[in-house]
Structures are given as C-alpha cells and as structure tokens.
Structure 1
C-alpha cells in the first residue's frame, strides 16, 4: 500500500488550561492589546466591554500549543482556531516552527468556525508525499473582550488538541469533507464509532454505529477532537468525526480507519 494511502492518525492528545496566559500578567502587553482592539473594533462602531482587559482572562495560542508539541521531529505543523488569540501581534505558526522539533513547514487556518480543523486536515492530506510527519493543533480560548455585533458561541474552557499524523499508522485518514451551504444532515456514515459535535447532537439516534460519542457542546471547535483523543484507536474500528457549524452552514466529516 502506498504511504499516502496509509497516512493518518497515529495518536491524539488533548489538554485544558485552567489559567489565563502568562502574557496576561504583563501590563505592557495589556496596554498594547487594549490600544489594538480599541482601534480595530472602533472601525465597526463597536467598543471594548467595560473592564474587558482588567484583568486579561484569555489564553495565548502560542503558549497553549507549545504544551502540545511532540519530542520527535515533524515535517508539517498546522494550527487551527476560531476565537481570536489574545496575542494578535505574534505569528503563532511561524513561532511554532522555531520551537517544534524538525522546524516544520507551518501555517494556520482560521475564519472557518467549527470547520477550521477539518479544513486544515484536508489541506494537510495534500502534503503527505513530501511532509508525511504532520501535527494538527486545534485550539480555542474563552475570552472575547468586545461585543462582535453578531451572536457567537464561545467555549467554556481554554482547550487544545494535537493530532499526530504519519504513514506508519493503521488509522488511515480515509476522507475529509467540508460541505458549505449545507443542512445538518448525516447520510450513510460508514463507521463503527461516530463522534458527533454539538451541532449534530440531535441526530444521534439516527446514526447507525456500534458506538456514538457526543462531544462536549460547550467546546464548539475542539469538542469533537477531544472526544477523538479519548478513544482507544486500537479498538474503535473505523471512526467518523462529524460536526456542523450552524452560523456558517458547514457540514464537516473526517473518517479514519
């Protein structure tokens, strides 16, 4: 079997972070962040919420991701997120290139809502021939210090998940689809274990699988990947991870095994 056909999930790890970022204790950073956000949201007639940064409660994706890096070299690293970072001046994926073993090529995927990690995984599959040792890090932090003017679903906890992918695993990445302008409908999921995000929880009774796992609905983007990390890949059989973003109307499905 070609290496590209074997490429897939070797292991997944997740972590939650109980405290704000170390940067949150730096008054100089807080002053710069306040000036930056005030200028940014002011262009849209918005403003920072009262005491939004007193204290800073958010997390830094750079700090979070470092805790998820492997000890062995990586060829490709992709960061996926939805909620903005509290350190907007840092190019996080570039920073991670320098601290991750192997100094991997890296990039980030954002502005995709719950689809961010699915889109990242789909893009990573195109690099399997030249960058087979890959790391996908999905992160979300809880604090948005301004009213964005539209309804948003913020996570309940700072959380991060790392998917370690290469061509030595039996949990091959069979397919990844992100379908825009879609309804929350699941048809013919060919899997023994199905992980459903909060956007699809209402369909759990309609899914035909040996095991259906409902992800934590309080973690809009990382919930399904936390549930994947909790599975025993050796016994779960073929796994389908599915979620739906009701705001963007993206239906996302990734199948492993």
Structure 2
C-alpha cells in the first residue's frame, strides 16, 4: 500500500533568551569530554539555541492544520540525537497527537535520515500496520559534544518539518528510493535516470549542486536548491511551502540529496536518497 502525502509544514525557531546553561548538562558534557579525551566548550553551549526536540515538535504541531483523525505511527528523524537526553520529542508527539500511535526515532544518517523514515513508514503501511503517519525531521544547532562548528553556522536557526501521510485517502502517492555505495558522479548519473521519467520540479539538498545535474533534453524541470540553513529539513520546507501550487498544477516533484558515508570511510562513496511525489496521480 502506497502512502499519500496529505499535508506538510516547516517552521524555523529562534534561539532562547540568554540564560546560564543547565548545570546538569554542563556536568554531563564535561564528563563525556573527559571520558573521550576531548574538550567541552561550555561557552558554545551558553550561546546555543538550546531548543530541544520537544520544543521543536510543539512548535511544529502549531504550524500544521489541526490533526483530527487518529495517527497510527509517528517517526522523528534527525541527523543526530537530541542534545538534552532528559527530553523526548517522540514521546511528546505520542502523547499529543490523536490516537495511540506507535512511535520511534531515527538519527545518525545525516540528511538521509528523513528519507529512511519515510521508507520505513511506507513499509509499515504496506504491512497494514499504519494508515495515518506523521513523519517529522529536526535541524537542531545545539551540539556541545561535537568538536566541529555547527554545520548551519553560529547564527542559524533551528528548524523542523512534518509530513502527514495517509495510506487510504486524498493526497499524492510517494515513492522513496535510497541508493547506497555510490560515488558523487554515480549519484548524478542515477538522478539523471530518474529525471528521464518526467519531473516537474527537483528540490535538491545541500549534498547536490544544481549546476552538475544534467536534465533530459527539452525537459521542463525546475531545479531548486533547498536552504542551506536547514540541512536536514530545508528540502522538505520547500515542499511544504509550495504544496498548494503542486496540488493545483499537478506534475511530479522529486526531493533528493546525497550524503557521504560517515567518518572513517575513505571510499569516497555515499548514499543518494530520493522521494518522488506524484501530484498528477493525487486522489481528490
């Protein structure tokens, strides 16, 4: 059974007012830094937005139309775990949305994580275990245990995206495809094969460069880069912002990104992730 996109939302979040960092978190990250032989940057934590996944989830629900029918499955996707281990965005959503949904979180796959979440949600629907699904993705800039600068930059906002999907009802059918073990050149080639099928708009994440994408001759495809401020949710934010136009005009929209394999992998390979949304086949 194919999941259909019934709604989408994206929201950006400013940082909290300046306040001392929580002493528990200071002690936690200081102990972790000592254990792993690195240095904890308390000043970085003091400057950070410090929006937990629960904060982002609460604000995200405010951006969605009211959820009236029971949700069967909730998935929270992020490129890394929440910086505050005492809170749980997935628990907040489970307790807040209507119904008694199964819920779980996914992380540590970079920008590919939302695609994995959508693919797994589709498998639950195909097995008859989820008719209505809420998939969320989080961009959280607070990462005091990471020795590298935040990817979004020190002044970036946090972001969250939501995709509401239904196995039986209105909406555009979605098809998620993930191709691991590709070089970047191979990924562009595979993406070109997908575009040969006729695509109205291609939304690309930060791992793909629009200028390197070869479009089929005469293809009426618009290539739109997602906001680099939101590596994990920017492409989905574009999909959410343009959803009324896509529904009105029909056509096929592809959301795509390329994610290199993690540290320690020197093969130069990664994963191409795609989500194909067929608005031309949307049920009224």
Q: Where on the TM-score scale, by shorter chain, does this alignment land: which range?
A: 0.7 to 0.9
Pairing 1:215–2:230 present: no
Choose which of 185, 197, 206 in structure 2 pairs with 1:198.
206
Check conservation: 1:140, 1:159, Cα contact below 8 A: yes
When the two chains are superposed, the root-mean-square deviation of aligned CA atoms in Å is 2.3
Check conservation: 1:176, 1:253, Cα contact below 8 A: yes
Choose which of 124, 138, 143 in structure 2 pairs with 1:127.
124
Extract unaligned runs of 5+ from structure 1. Answer: none
Deviation of 1:204 (Å): 5.4
Deviation of 1:64 (Å): 0.8
Check conservation: 1:12, 1:163, Cα contact below 8 A: yes
Separation in 1, partners of 2:159, 2:146 = 22
Pairing 1:89–2:102 present: no
Report what 2:193 is aligned to: 188
Deviation of 1:43 (Å): 2.2
Deviation of 1:48 (Å): 1.2
Check conservation: 2:90, 2:105, Cα contact below 8 A: yes
Report what 1:48 is aligned to: 40
SS at match of 1:41: helix
Separation in 2, partners of 1:180, 1:205 = 19
Check conservation: 1:240, 1:256, Cα contact below 8 A: yes
Deviation of 1:108 (Å): 0.5
Check conservation: 2:204, 2:210, Cα contact below 8 A: no
The number of equivalent residue pairs is: 247
Separation in 1, partners of 2:71, 2:47 = 36
Deviation of 1:218 (Å): 2.7
TM-score, normalised to structure 1, is 0.86
Choose which of 99, 105, 123 in structure 2 pairs with 1:108.
105
SS at match of 1:199: coil
Deviation of 1:10 (Å): 1.1
Report what 2:274 is aligned to: 253
Check conservation: 1:30, 1:53, Cα contact below 8 A: no
SS at match of 2:92: helix
Deviation of 1:243 (Å): 0.3
1:171-182 mapped onto 2 (5 Å cutoff)? 171-173=172-174, 175-182=175-182
Separation in 1, partners of 2:39, 2:144 = 9
For each residue in 1:193-251, what CA deviation from the matched residue of structure 2 results, as whole angstroms up to 9, or x when unmatched? 21111211244551344322111123211111111112223125111110011354221
Separation in 2, partners of 1:178, 1:152 = 26
Extract unaligned runs of 5+ from structure 2. Answer: 263-269, 279-284
